[in-house]
């Protein structure tokens, strides 16, 4: 009886030892499981945190590229403006997501995909801007070339116009009537109307100016106005017809007398009579004839 009790006692003690060992092993296993789980969790948190930091850096780079592509003074199309606004909205959305306190693996994966798509878009957008710059550069070159051509053509046109004006002036001058000879005869007019040549101032009443016109095939045939200026011995212009004005040799002048002659390029001799409303003085008189805006010729006569 005592032997049976003695055998049961060691068996009970052995069972307790096994139980305690099992409990200890279970506790050790649980602690190990919890330790490794916490370690993995910490590693995941660190990994997510590092990935968020990397993505923020990537977003900064993408935004910098977008800003840089817009630094050039280029007018964007409406479509490109809309694309830029969408890109900036997506950047703002990603920044807001990364600023959140927690971000699970699924959200992180989505953010990574969004950044990938954003990178693709900005790369394409930058390429479009670059192409637009090149097109603008080509257009600018073409515009400058066109302006240069226009300026050259305009300059040539101006030069040609100037040459044409000079030619027209030369033609006009060449077409103007010119006298071959001018003779001035003082005339005495008696009461009975008879006329005679004189050389004394107190006897003369008028001048008879005779002149011929040299051959001119380009002069216009027909009537031409002729202006006559008579300068007295004192250098004064004798004025009649209210001293009207005309233009000759690019000057505005007063004339003494105006008439018209018919030119036929036939060698005809013309005659103009001018009666002095006052008395003649002793000395030399100068008569200058003008037609077609130029001086025709001149002559002098002296009175005693």
- For 301, what's the count of Cα atoms within 13 Å in the CB-facing half-sphere? 23
**What are the residue ranges spanned by the domains of the chain?**
2-135, 179-303
| The predicted structure's pLDDT at residue 39 | 47
Token pair of 205 as six digits: 């009443």
**Range with lowest mean pLDDT among 7-16, 130-139, 166-175, 195-204:** 7-16
Query: 179-303 architecture in CATH?
Result: Sandwich (2.60)
- The full length of the chain comes to 304
Output phi, psi for 193, to 5 deg: 95, -10
Q: What is the pLDDT of residues 101-152, one digit of tens each?
A: 555 667 667 766 777 777 777 777 777 777 777 887 788 888 888 888 888 8
More confident residue, 58 or 35: 58
**Is residue 46 over pLDDT 60?**
no
**Is residue 295 over pLDDT 70?**
yes
Reported in sequence order, the residue ranges of 167-221 that DSSP labels E, i.e. its strands, are: 179-189, 195-197, 206-213
pTM above 0.75, yes or no: no
Instruction: Confirm if 272 and 208 have CB atoms less than 8 A apart.
Output: yes
Most confident of 76-80, 136-140, 208-212, 243-247: 208-212
**Range with lowest mean pLDDT among 197-201, 236-240, 283-287:** 236-240
- DSSP conformational letter for 76: P
Q: What is the pLDDT of residues 233-258, one digit of tens each?
A: 999 999 875 658 899 988 999 999 99
| The predicted structure's pLDDT at residue 45 | 43
Instruction: Confirm if 178 and 296 have CB atoms less than 8 A apart.
Output: yes
**Is residue 24 over pLDDT 60?**
yes
Token pair of 102 as six digits: 């927690």
Hey, what's the torsion of the CAs at 81, 86, 88, 94, to 10 degrees?
Answer: -170
Residue with tokens 């009461």, as numbered in its chain: 191
For residue 211, the cross-strand partners are 182, 270
- The whole-angstrom separation of Cα 25 and Cα 33 is 12
User: Quick one: average pLDDT of 9-15?
Assistant: 57
In percent, how much of the chain has pLDDT > 90? 32
In the three-class reduction of DSSP (H, G, I as helix; E, B as strand; rest coil), residue 169 is classed as helix
Over 233-244, what HEC string results? Answer: CCCCEECCHHHC
**Is residue 287 over pLDDT 90?**
yes
Query: How far, in Å, are 26, 228, 249, 288, 293 from residue 244 at the CA level?
Result: 137, 12, 17, 16, 15
Token pair of 110 as six digits: 């989505």
- The whole-angstrom separation of Cα 63 and Cα 84 is 11
The angle formed by the CA atoms of residues 185, 191 and 196, to the nearest 5 degrees, is 25
For residue 129, the cross-strand partners are none
Q: What is the pLDDT of residues 250-280, one digit of tens each?
A: 899 999 999 999 999 988 899 999 999 889 9
**Range with lowest mean pLDDT among 32-46, 118-132, 171-185, 210-224:** 32-46
**Is residue 173 over pLDDT 60?**
yes
3-state helix, strand, coil split of the chain in percent (to 5) is 55, 25, 20
Query: How far, in Å, are 148, 162, 163, 166 from residue 156 at the CA level?
Result: 12, 10, 10, 15
Residue with tokens 């505005």, as numbered in its chain: 252
């Amino acid at each position: 009886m005592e032997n049976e009790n003695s055998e049961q006692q060691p068996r009970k003690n052995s069972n307790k030892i096994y139980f305690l060992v099992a409990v200890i092993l279970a506790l050790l296993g649980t602690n190990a499981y919890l330790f490794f789980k916490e370690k993995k969790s910490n590693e995941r948190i660190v990994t997510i945190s590092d990935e968020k930091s990397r993505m923020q850096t990537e977003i900064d780079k993408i935004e910098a590229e977008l800003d840089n592509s817009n630094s050039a003074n280029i007018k964007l199309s409406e479509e490109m403006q809309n694309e830029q606004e969408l890109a900036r909205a997506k950047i703002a959305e990603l920044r807001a997501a990364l600023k959140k306190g927690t971000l699970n693996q699924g959200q992180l994966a989505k953010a990574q995909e969004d950044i990938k798509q954003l990178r693709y878009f900005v790369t394409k957008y930058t390429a479009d801007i670059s192409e637009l710059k090149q097109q603008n550069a080509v257009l600018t070159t073409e515009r400058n070339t066109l302006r240069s051509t226009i300026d050259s053509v305009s300059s040539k046109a101006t030069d040609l116009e100037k040459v044409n004006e000079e030619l027209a002036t030369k033609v006009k001058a060449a077409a103007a009537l010119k006298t071959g000879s001018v003779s001035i005869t003082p005339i005495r007019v008696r009461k009975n109307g008879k006329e005679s040549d004189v050389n004394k101032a107190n006897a003369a009443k008028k001048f008879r100016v005779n002149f011929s016109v040299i051959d001119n095939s380009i002069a216009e045939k027909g009537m031409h106005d002729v202006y006559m200026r008579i300068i007295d011995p004192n250098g004064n212009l004798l004025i009649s017809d209210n001293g009207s004005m005309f233009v000759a040799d690019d000057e505005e002048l007063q004339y003494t007398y105006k008439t018209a002659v018919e030119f036929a390029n036939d060698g005809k001799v013309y005659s103009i009579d001018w009666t002095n409303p006052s008395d003649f003085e002793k000395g030399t008189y100068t008569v200058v004839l003008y037609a077609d805006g130029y001086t025709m010729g001149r002559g002098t006569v002296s009175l005693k």
